[in-house]
């Protein structure tokens, strides 16, 4: 793609989006016209590669980490409980999960406002897996020019085996990705044993195959289509950007007018800027854009074009940084502002959610009791002349072992309890216990008396208690 045919005014740091078609991306929806990404070396490429390895290995290895007698991270949908190391989240504790998701959301907003779309460029699974698939592509089909040439060649044995090897590697890695993802919902040892011994259920095979082809399609075929046309983040990111957001930017004042020249030539004598119009910044871009045309929503801030341009500047003997992480204000010669209302606002909300999340975790009790009144009768007088109320208790054991619980009424004097006051409940069980509480009417001063039922047990030798309030009705 040559960008020398545009005569836009770059001196004002405008956000320009080119709409004309180009040879590299004539039809981004067609697999036959996919972007051929050129390999590049540089500081940002190394950083992205290392962060990608950390993200991928964390995802791959985490299901194999054990915590006691179970997986450290295990989302048990059948029993409706999520295990995250020593924390067990039940459906009753989903506020904790909601708080965690809100922290992630506002964390993303904060980082985007400050550093632009670096999440997409360095840690987004779509980006990480796309570059892994491109690595397989380079190993079997060669560098960018060789891949372009191979695709234009007629079918031959050389082309068939290279294509077959590449797609086989893609499918194998997609299967590994799918199995790993499923390991978060089905025990790791179980899913690998059952799938490869052909003893898994049809539902497990369905999801393994589904996620395998989803990975194969996303990272192998769709790639930038996901970023450009399907990812909602690329559409609403501009709402978080401002002129002090760090973006990948091209210094048009220094680079224009662009044009080829020899290393020994004086660009000023030729009336040229530092950009030699080599197009390497376009060739290394995973979304196929030309960063010299201004900020575009397709840019994922991966820094590949920075490395490509710095390498060119170094070969030419020019100063690096023609393309760099910068801000619009800096490109326009305006002093940058680090702290601004939007950034501070996102940071305050994020910190508030972190505090609420920590409080929610510390407030999680290892048990729960709910009191349901008998709706058919508020009260009755029994044969002993006592006023009796009937309740149904729902007791949940949220620990990993069976527990013995004791029930005590508080707030009612000289009461009688009809039903067991000591119960043993298995791990994860919701125990239903119908009980009645009776009180002498002489001791009841009001028609409605507030009281509570205290549930107590010992967890790891420590006494734990929870209370649930209710009301006692009388004539």
End-to-end Cα separation, the chain, in angstroms? 88
pLDDT score for 81: 83
Average pLDDT over residues 316-320: 94
C-alpha 386/C-alpha 84 separation (Å) is 49
Side-chain half-sphere exposure of 145, counting CA atoms within 13 A: 1
Strand order in the sheet with 87-89: 73-76, 81-84, 87-89
* Confidence grade of residue 31 (pLDDT, cut at 50, 70, 90): very low
Average pLDDT over residues 388-411: 91
* Choice between 460 and 403, residue whose per-residue pLDDT is larger: 403
* Choice between 22 and 165, residue whose per-residue pLDDT is larger: 165
* Choice between 46 and 475, residue whose per-residue pLDDT is larger: 46
Residue of 196, 188, 176, 181 lying closest to 133 (CA atoms)? 176
C-alpha 242/C-alpha 343 separation (Å) is 10
Which residues neighbour 393 within 8 Å (Cβ) at sequence distance 6 or greater?
369, 370, 371, 372, 407, 431, 432, 433, 434, 435, 453
Whose tokens are 């074009």? That residue is: 305
Which residues neighbour 18 within 8 Å (Cβ) at sequence distance 6 or greater?
3, 6, 290, 293
pLDDT score for 413: 85
Alpha-carbon torsion (160, 162, 166, 172), positive or negative: positive
Which residues neighbour 466 within 8 Å (Cβ) at sequence distance 6 or greater?
365, 367, 368, 369, 454, 455, 456
pLDDT score for 473: 92
pLDDT score for 281: 95
pLDDT score for 153: 93
pLDDT score for 51: 94
Average pLDDT over residues 462-475: 90
pLDDT score for 308: 96
φ, ψ at 419 (rounded to 5°): 135, 170
Alpha-carbon torsion (459, 462, 463, 466), positive or negative: negative
- The most confident of the ranges 91-105, 276-290, 349-363 is 276-290
- Tens of pLDDT, residue by residue over 238-271, are 788 889 999 999 999 999 999 999 998 999 999 9
C-alpha 306/C-alpha 323 separation (Å) is 5
Structural domains of the chain ordered from first start? 1-364 (no CATH), 367-473 (2.60.40.10)
- Tens of pLDDT, residue by residue over 403-421, are 999 999 998 888 899 999 9
Residue of 430, 448, 439 lying closest to 370 (CA atoms)? 430
Is pLDDT of 212 > 80?
yes
Checking DSSP bridges between strand 367-373 and strand 380-381, what pairing results, if any? Answer: unpaired
Output the average pLDDT for the chain.
87
Average pLDDT over residues 111-139: 93
C-alpha 97/C-alpha 113 separation (Å) is 24
pLDDT score for 33: 61
- Ramachandran assignment for 77, one of left (phi > 0), alpha (psi -120 to 50 degrees), beta (any other): alpha
Is pLDDT of 310 > 70?
yes
- Tens of pLDDT, residue by residue over 35-84, are 899 999 999 999 999 999 999 999 999 999 998 888 999 998 888 888 88
Is pLDDT of 13 > 50?
no
Range of weakest confidence among 15-29, 37-51, 94-108, 276-290: 15-29
Average pLDDT over residues 358-384: 87
Is pLDDT of 20 > 70?
no
Is pLDDT of 215 > 80?
yes
**Are the C-beta atoms of 243 and 113 separated by less than 8 Å?**
no
Average pLDDT over residues 108-116: 92
C-alpha 62/C-alpha 78 separation (Å) is 21
Is pLDDT of 14 > 50?
no
Checking DSSP bridges between strand 87-89 and strand 81-84, what pairing results, if any? Answer: antiparallel
Is pLDDT of 17 > 60?
no
The predicted model scores a pTM of 0.80
Average pLDDT over residues 440-458: 91
- Please confirm whether the linkage preceding 249 is cis (ω < 30° from 0): no
């Amino acid at each position: 793609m040559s960008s020398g045919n545009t005569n836009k005014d770059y001196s004002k740091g405008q956000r320009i989006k080119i709409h004309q078609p180009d040879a590299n991306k004539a039809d981004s929806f067609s697999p036959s016209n996919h972007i051929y990404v050129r390999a590049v070396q540089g500081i940002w490429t190394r950083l992205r590669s290392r962060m990608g390895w950390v993200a991928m290995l964390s995802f791959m290895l985490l299901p194999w980490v054990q915590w006691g007698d179970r997986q450290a991270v295990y989302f048990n949908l059948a029993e409706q409980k999520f295990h995250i190391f020593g924390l067990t989240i039940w459906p009753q504790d989903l506020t904790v999960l909601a708080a965690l998701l809100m922290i992630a959301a506002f964390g993303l907003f904060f980082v985007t406002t400050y550093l632009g779309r670096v999440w997409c460029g360095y840690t987004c699974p779509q980006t990480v897996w796309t570059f892994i698939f491109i690595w397989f592509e380079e190993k079997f089909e060669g560098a960018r020019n060789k891949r372009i040439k191979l695709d234009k060649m007629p079918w031959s044995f050389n082309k068939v085996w290279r294509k077959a090897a590449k797609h086989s590697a893609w499918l194998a890695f997609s299967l590994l990705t799918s199995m790993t993802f499923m390991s978060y919902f089905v025990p790791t040892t179980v899913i690998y044993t059952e799938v490869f011994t052909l003893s898994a259920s049809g539902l497990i095979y369905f999801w393994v195959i589904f996620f395998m082809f989803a990975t194969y399609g996303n990272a192998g075929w769709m790639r930038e289509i996901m970023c450009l046309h399907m990812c909602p983040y690329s559409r609403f990111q501009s709402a978080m950007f401002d002129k002090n957001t760090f973006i990948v930017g091209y210094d048009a004042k220094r680079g224009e007018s662009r044009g080829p020249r020899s290393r020994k030539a004086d660009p000023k004598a030729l009336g040229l800027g530092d950009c030699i119009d080599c197009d390497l910044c376009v060739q290394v871009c995973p979304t196929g854009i030309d960063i010299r045309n201004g900020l575009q929503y397709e840019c994922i801030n991966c820094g590949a074009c920075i490395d490509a341009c710095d390498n060119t500047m170094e070969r030419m003997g020019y100063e690096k940084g023609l393309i760099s992480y910068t801000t619009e204000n800096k490109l326009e010669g305006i002093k940058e502002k680090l702290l601004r209302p939007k950034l501070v606002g996102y940071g305050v909300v994020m910190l508030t959610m972190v505090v609420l999340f920590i409080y929610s975790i510390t407030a999680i009790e290892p048990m729960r009791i709910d009191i349901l009144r008998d709706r058919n009768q508020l009260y009755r007088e029994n044969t002993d002349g006592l006023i009796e109320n009937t309740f149904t208790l729902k007791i949940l054991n949220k620990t990993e072992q069976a527990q013995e619980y004791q029930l005590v009424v508080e707030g009612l004097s000289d009461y009688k309890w009809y039903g067991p006051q000591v119960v043993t409940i298995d791990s994860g069980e919701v125990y239903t216990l119908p009980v009645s509480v009776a009180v002498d009417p002489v001791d009841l001063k009001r028609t409605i008396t507030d009281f509570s039922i205290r549930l107590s047990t010992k967890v790891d030798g420590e006494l734990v208690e929870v209370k649930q309030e209710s009301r006692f009705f009388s004539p």
